[in-house]
Structure 1
Amino acid sequence: MRKLNCAIVEDSNVQRTLLEQIIHKTPNLELLYSFTSSTEALEKINSSKIDLLFLDIEMPFMNGFEFIAGLQIKPQVIITSQNSNYALEAFDHNVIDFLLKPYSKKRFEIAVGKAIIKVKTSIRNKPESKLVIKHNLKQVELNIHAIQWVEALGDYVKVITPERNYVILSTLSTFHKKLGDDKFVRIHKSYIVNLKMVERYNHEFIEIKDKKIPISRTKGIELDRLLKCVE
């Protein structure tokens, strides 16, 4: 199994540094981000592919539970806190574990082990991936694997599925990260395609359901290799 991409949200410099050191020494983890500011962290994590989040509860401006409520795509969450009174409420937010500071390396490994098992089980048992989007001022649950392609429309993106199209306020780069699937490839500055939906292609364009989508010059060779690997 690949390493889990991790992020830390912790306003204490001492606690954050200690956690960074532990993560760097843990073979199954890859630390991508470490934040002191909950507001800055929320924006970044909502536009990134994070598997596991280490989250402090008592922070200025936004506490840990408010932070969880603001997540658009929820990674596995391990709460870290010096106050055991938060434990019951933490599990009400469906977190994977609660680490009471100061915690031992062994206790840390147990918590991470739970996250690894949860991710493995999710990959094995989940037949389709869902993404919650806002379309026409409503929350819509979208099956990621049904997406055929995504195209840029200024400050918006247009998501094409067999049933209907969705227009979402987002950049193409941000939406690409939310898809979280390596079968979605940006083949042009204005297009992301689902490789499993490609019917025909040449060095100039690919075709999905009679739609010809241009390929940028830099993506031609890579696209040929990727399409040959699609199961």
Structure 2
Amino acid sequence: MKTTAVIVEDLAVAAEVLQKYCVKSGRVTVLNTFSSIEEALPFLCDQVVNLIFLDVEMPGGNGFELLDKLPYSPEVILTTSKTEYAYNAFEYNVTDFLKKPFTYQRFLDALGKLREVSEKKEETEDLSHIYIKSDGKLIRLENDDILYIESMGDYVKFITNEKKIITHNTIKNLTTKINPSIFCKVHRSYIINMNKISDVRENMLYIKGTMIPISKANRTMVMSRLKII
């Protein structure tokens, strides 16, 4: 099965090279190409893709701003000529960092890393529980026991029916670790268990009486996952 992707790159030549490499590899189907984050965002909010080839510096904002606004977390391969973005790449858990100009072999290496990440995700999706580090020990939490996860800066708080557990982590990192069929990022500060929603009112949802905001960027994805009849 081919990987579905979009290219977000303001330089036409660079976009053409990526398109050519994708076709040549036979492993990536490019659904669309965009020259700015303003053009890419509506498409990506409406169409879930596996991968984004993302330039950093573009008209109207940088690539990381696009990732902040997305309602889900696709794999990302950064394409840029500047190495100073390597730290940001680490913070955003990107799959690989391609420094321009790059060869076809280097492109294939990036796709290899993508395959490794996909295999790890498949393993994660089979799990019914997770382990988190807190107070010097590993605590097992069943997915069904977790109501929601709240950001606290460099820490996150796991809320269950019976307790609250704080651990050193970030919402961005957790979106790549937890089961995506159960959990959903609804706001930059919240991941929720979709099975625990009691009701939804405009830009808010409620879980066990707690009001949780739904960001504008995430609303389309959240609503698409509700079984509305």
Q: Same fold (TM over 0.5)?
A: yes
Residues 186 and 222 in structure 2, CA contact (< 8 A), matched pair in contact too = no
1:157: Cα distance to partner?
Answer: 9.8
**2:191 equivalent to 1:141:** yes
1:111: Cα distance to partner?
Answer: 0.6
Q: Deviations over 1:178-222 (max 9, x none)?
A: 64xxxxxxxxxxx847xxxxxxxxxxxxxxxxxxx5xxxxxxxxx
1:95: Cα distance to partner?
Answer: 0.9
Normalised by the length of structure 2, the TM-score is 0.61
| Displaced runs of 4 or more, over 3 A | 156-161, 163-170, 173-179
Decide whether aligned partners of structure 1 residues 108 and 160 sit closer, same or farther in structure 2, where only a CA change above 3 A counts. Answer: same
User: Unaligned regions of 5+ residues in structure 1, if any?
Assistant: 180-190, 194-212, 214-231
User: Unaligned regions of 5+ residues in structure 2, if any?
Assistant: 128-178
1:176: Cα distance to partner?
Answer: 7.9
Q: Could you say which residue in structure 1 is the equivalent of 2:94? A: 95
Larger gyration radius, structure 1 or structure 2? 1
Mapping of residues 43-122 of structure 1, within 5 Å: 43-122=42-121
Larger RCO (CA under 8 A, 6+ residues apart): 2
SS in structure 2 of the partner of residue 95 of structure 1: coil
Mapping of residues 161-180 of structure 1, within 5 Å: 174-175=220-221, 179=225
Aligned residues: 172
User: Quick one: distance in 2 between partners of 1:31 and 1:110?
Assistant: 18
1:98: Cα distance to partner?
Answer: 0.6
Normalised by the length of structure 1, the TM-score is 0.61
Decide whether aligned partners of structure 1 residues 21 and 147 sit closer, same or farther in structure 2, where only a CA change above 3 A counts. Answer: farther
Indicate the percent of aligned positions where both proteins have the same amino acid: 29
Decide whether aligned partners of structure 1 residues 160 and 119 sit closer, same or farther in structure 2, where only a CA change above 3 A counts. Answer: farther
User: Quick one: distance in 1 between partners of 2:184 and 2:74?
Assistant: 13
